[in-house]
Amino acid sequence: MKRLVGLLTLASVGAGACGLLASELKIMEPAEYSIVRGTVKFRVKPELEKGEKLASLPQVSFHNEQGDEVRKIAATGDPATGLTSGSVDTTKLPDGRYVLVFTYKTTVPEEKEPVDQEQEVVLGVRNGPAKPARVVVDLPDNKEFKGEDAAEVTVHVYDDKGKPMPAARVAFKVNQGDLGTSAEITDSMGEAFASVDSDKALTSILTVTVENLPPVTRTLKFIE
């Protein structure tokens, strides 16, 4: 499945990669995988594990789908609670898939030095008038998938002029099996990606829904 540089799902990294305690940001706004326009407000608060302490307030930046920083954001925070808030002006940015990146430091008993933490929130910036008009769901040629081989799904979204549409929200749902993500934002090519797998033999119904368009379903058969 195609991956975009610098775009992660909402997760903590740094300490977690080393097997240490890892905090997670509670994102109060904006909602991940939401479509935003104009000035976007954000509010976040670290939720620390037992024994973990906040060493620095989150620093905030805004990145495009290539991972390039397009905005360095001034944020205000409360050292006592870690609550950090601010806003980013997206008015002059091209419509597309973007990421709010929060970086901060925590201390844990196992480490003498503060541990770097990072968390990201994927958003779709859409200031233009385009709206989703057509969706195409592509699956691999495989008729059957083994548990270790995920079914990689590519969704193509087009606007009412037939052009690939960036910054469209795509929701994914399965009746059974394991879904890699519940939603995504289309990139500059109008594409979004997801994966489905299962360690059991079953038939899964995948439902793909793009912003007010009729849902599209696909049947996935997994074998042991």
Q: In angstroms, rounded to a whole number, what is the distance separating the alpha carbons of residues 181 and 10?
A: 10
Is the C-alpha dihedral spanning 54, 56, 59, 65 positive or negative? negative
Does the domain spanning 132-223 belong to CATH 2.60.40.1510? no
Per-residue model confidence (pLDDT) at position 109 = 84
More confident residue, 146 or 61: 61
Token couple for 91: 């008015």
pLDDT digits (tens, 9 = 90+) for 161-173: 999 999 999 999 9
More confident residue, 113 or 17: 113
pLDDT digits (tens, 9 = 90+) for 17-65: 333 345 789 999 999 999 999 999 999 999 988 888 999 999 999 999 9
Q: Is the peptide bond before 30 cis (omega within 30 degrees of 0)?
A: yes
Q: Quick check: do 13-125 and 132-223 share a fold?
A: yes
Quick one: average pLDDT of 130-141?
94
Backbone φ and ψ for 212, nearest 5 degrees, come out as 70, 5
More confident residue, 11 or 207: 207
Per-residue model confidence (pLDDT) at position 72 = 87
Indicate the domain borders of the chain.
Answer: 13-125, 132-223
CATH superfamily of 13-125: Immunoglobulins (2.60.40.10)
